[in-house]
Amino acid sequence: MARIADLLAAGPTYSFEFFPPKNDTEQATLVRTLRELEPLEPSFVSVTYRGGRASRQRTYDLVVGMLKTTALTPMAHLTCVAHTRLELAEILVDFRKAGIENVLALGGDPVSEPDLPEAELRFADELVELAHAIGGFSIGVAAHPELHPRSNGDRAADRARLAAKLRRADFAITQFFFRVDDYLGLVDDLRREGVDKPVLPGIMPITNLRSAQRMAELSGCAVPAEVVARVEAVADDADAVWRVGVEMATELCQGLMAEGAPGLHFYTLNRSTATREIYANLGLAPAA
């Protein structure tokens, strides 16, 4: 299994993100998506973690399954929320025993599941330190180009906290965004903090404007007016909306690559079509 830090040191990486299925229907969709995307030979894939006992097991099962039955290099997400320090240590030890070497350390959103313990670690940087203590991991963290939702608009404090956790981690992956300048501003802010670790831009094509706006609001950002205008201009034609969304995502990726981004991380939402189309537009698909 490859460590993501080593992959990034060797050159640009191209990666996909999935979420664990909750039922048989979602499982069938994900299996089909994995079969369609595996031939693209991504550098690695990541599996999200919602917090709580059920999601803990689903994430573990999916990552270990990928490790055993595919040629993919998986990374497991892990959140501080709803776990004691001991539970988090046990999860990390189980990951290492299973051969998982890559983990994305996250603070996590509050979970409403009953009877969950109070989180003892409040921030991702504490989880990064715990993963270091367990040992053997390549550790990533999350970054928000338009500030963390809980930053209260304090850019200086937001960037200082991000820089602090990234100093101990190997790399960061951003929340999705829509403008190259948003990414470049984040990277420049980190450099002013003395941090030059790889920051992978997160890409999510707009195939449904309303859904994208809801997800953007949850992540603390907004869909730019110029993006909304391009989609609304063809809003009466679902196929055209899809085409414009893929075009805009392709243009964003091209701009990021031209500016020297260390790779691209695609939020697939467990579907493959848009990602495959963008990949083809960028000329990233491996030769047949």
Domains and CATH numbers, the chain: 4-281 (3.20.20.220)
CA atoms of 204 and 252, how far apart (whole Å): 10
Q: For residues 169 and 139, is the Cβ–Cβ distance under 8 A? A: yes
Determine the pLDDT at residue 146: 82
CA atoms of 5 and 171, how far apart (whole Å): 7
Residues in the chain: 288
Q: For residues 207 and 242, is the Cβ–Cβ distance under 8 A? A: yes
Q: Which tokens sit at 56?
A: 């803990």
* Local mean pLDDT, 10-residue blocks, the chain (288 residues): 94 95 91 93 91 77 91 93 89 95 87 64 92 96 82 81 95 95 96 97 89 74 85 90 94 98 96 94 80
| CA-CA-CA-CA dihedral for 74, 107, 197, 143, to nearest 10 | 100
Among the listed residues 17, 101, 126, 146, the single catalytic one is: 17
Q: Is 36 a catalytic residue?
A: no
- Beta strands 13-18 and 138-143 are unpaired
Determine the pLDDT at residue 114: 57
Q: Which tokens sit at 122?
A: 């409040």
- State the pTM of this model: 0.92
Task: Give 250's contacts (C-beta < 8 A, 6+ positions apart).
Answer: 278, 281, 282
Task: Give 45's contacts (C-beta < 8 A, 6+ positions apart).
Answer: 15, 16, 17, 18, 66, 72, 73, 74, 75
